[in-house]
Amino acid sequence: MPLPKYAYFEGEIVPFEDAKISVMTSGLHYGIGAFAGVRAYWNEDEEQLFVFRAYDHFTRFLNSAKLLSFELGFSQEDLIEITRELLRKEGWREDAYIRPLVYAANESIGILRLQDLTPEVTIFTLPFGGYVPNEENTHITFSSWHRIDDNAIPARGKITGAYANTAFIKTDATRAGFDEAVVLNRNGHVSEGSGENFFMVRDGVVVTPPVTDNILEGITRRTVMELLREEMGVEVVERTIDRTEVYLAEEAFFTGSAVQVAAITRVDHRPIGSGVMGPIASGLRDIFFAVVRGKNEKYRHWNTPIYEAVKAK
C-alpha cells in the first residue's frame, strides 16, 4: 500500500513525513480522539473521483468530537474542502480512503478533564480496495467479547480508544480461522461486527439492530436501508436480534464504509441459508456500487466530485 504524499496537519497541508506528533501526546496515551472513515470511488468512464456522502461523514465526525467536548472550529464544508484539496494534490485515479482524525494534542502525563484538552485535526488519504478478503462469501463467528456499552464509551461515536474492543474481537476471530465476528451487547443481543453494521433476512424481511443496541450509527447502514426500500422494494425493520436467530436467517450481510456490502454465508461453521450469497445481498451490492461511483443519477447528490469534469470528446 503506497503512503500518502501529503497530510493536513496543524492547520495546513504538509508533506506526509512532516506530519508527526510527540510521544507525550495525550491522545496517544489515553485514546482520547475520534476519527472517520470515508471512501472515494473512481469512475473510469468520467475519469472522476467521487467522495461518497462526504457531508454526512463529516457531520458524524463533528458529532464524535462533540461527545469528547472538543470544539474544532470547522464546518462540514471546511472539512470537505480540505479533503478535496488533499485528493487533488495526491491525484489518485483509483478507489481511495480518507482518514480524518481529531486527537488530544496536549503533551502531558495524567488523565485530564476533557474540557482542558486541546484538540488537533489531521486528515490524510490513500488508495484502498477491499476490507475483508471474501466479500461474497464471508465466514464469521460470535465473539466472546461484548460490544462496548454506550454508558462506558459512546458507542455511536468513532472514539479512538474504543477500538481496543474491536481489536480483541477481530484478533480472536481471525486467529480461529474466521474472516470476521459478530459481537453481542451486554444484554446478549446482536450489536454489530468488529467494525461493521449487521443485517439479516428473516422471512423475506431485512432486519438490523436498532441504534439503542450499542451500534455505530453507520452511514453505509443508512444508505443500504434506503436502497433496499426504494430500489428493491424490500421491507427493512430495526429491532433487537437474538443470537440463534442468526443461525436461522435466510441471508446475512455486513455494511460499512470500509467493508462496503459483504455477504455472510457461514456463522460458526453453520451455513446461512443455502451457504452462498443470496439474492438480496447480491442485488444490493450491484445497486450500491453503481451509486457510490456516481452511476445512478437519482443518488448523484451523495457524490462529491474531486477533479474538474472532463469535456466530452
* Distances in whole angstroms, Cα of residue 107 to Cα of each of 12, 25, 67, 160, 181: 20, 5, 21, 18, 36
DSSP letters spanning 193-212 = ESSSEEEEEETTEEEE--GG
Dihedral sign (CA 112, 113, 116, 122): positive
Chain centroid to Cα 212, Å, comes to 18
- Residue 20 CB neighbour total at 10 angstroms: 9
Tell me if 284 sits within 8 A of 261, measured CB to CB: yes
Three cell numbers written together for 189: 443481543
CB-count burial class (<10 Å; 0-12, 13-18, 19+) for 213:
buried
- Is 158 catalytic? The answer is yes
CA distance 112 to 128: 36
Three cell numbers written together for 98: 480518507
Cβ-Cβ contacts under 8 Å for 158 (sequence gap 6 or more)? 34, 35, 36, 37, 60, 61, 64, 216
CA distance 96 to 128: 5
Strand 119-127 relative to strand 6-9: parallel, antiparallel, unpaired? antiparallel
Element holding 281 (H helix, E strand): helix 279-292
CA distance 1 to 97: 12
Of the candidates 66, 89, 158, 311, the residue annotated as catalytic is 158
Of 25, 31, 181, nearest in space to 105 by CA: 25
Catalytic residues: 158
